[in-house]
Amino acid sequence: MIKINEVIKEYNIIEKINAGIVLEGWEVKNIKFYKNIELKNSYIINIKNEIFLKNSKINSKNISNLKIQRNRKLLLKKKK
């Protein structure tokens, strides 16, 4: 679980929802071992009834410190 302390300070949190995130294999490895995900300036959008995380960056340790920014699908329970 990633906690966003800066967001908690800047915004008023109305509701907390746990969500899974669709990642590629190298992203899982980098987050697990290096914990290098950047969520600053990221936000959530709804596209055709699917929820996506935009502007999040995962730093790649294997590809000369490349920062990959792409939309990542969030997985929520159906009732949410």
Q: Is 58 contained in some domain?
A: yes
CA distances to 9, 32, 51, 78 from 13, rounded to whole Å, are 9, 26, 18, 22
Q: What is the pTM of this model?
A: 0.68
CA distances to 8, 35, 39, 46 from 3, rounded to whole Å, are 9, 12, 10, 22
**pLDDT (0 to 100) of residue 79:** 67
- Let me know: does 76 contact 19? Beta carbons within 8 Å: yes
Q: Is 33 contained in some domain?
A: yes
**pLDDT (0 to 100) of residue 46:** 92
**pLDDT (0 to 100) of residue 67:** 59
28-64 pLDDT per residue, tens: 887 777 777 777 788 889 999 899 999 888 877 665 5
Q: Is 53 contained in some domain?
A: yes
Domain with 59, as residue range(s), is 17-75
Q: Is 66 contained in some domain?
A: yes
**pLDDT (0 to 100) of residue 52:** 93
Q: Is 9 contained in some domain?
A: no
CATH of the domain at 26: 2.40.280.10
Number of structural domains found in the chain: 1
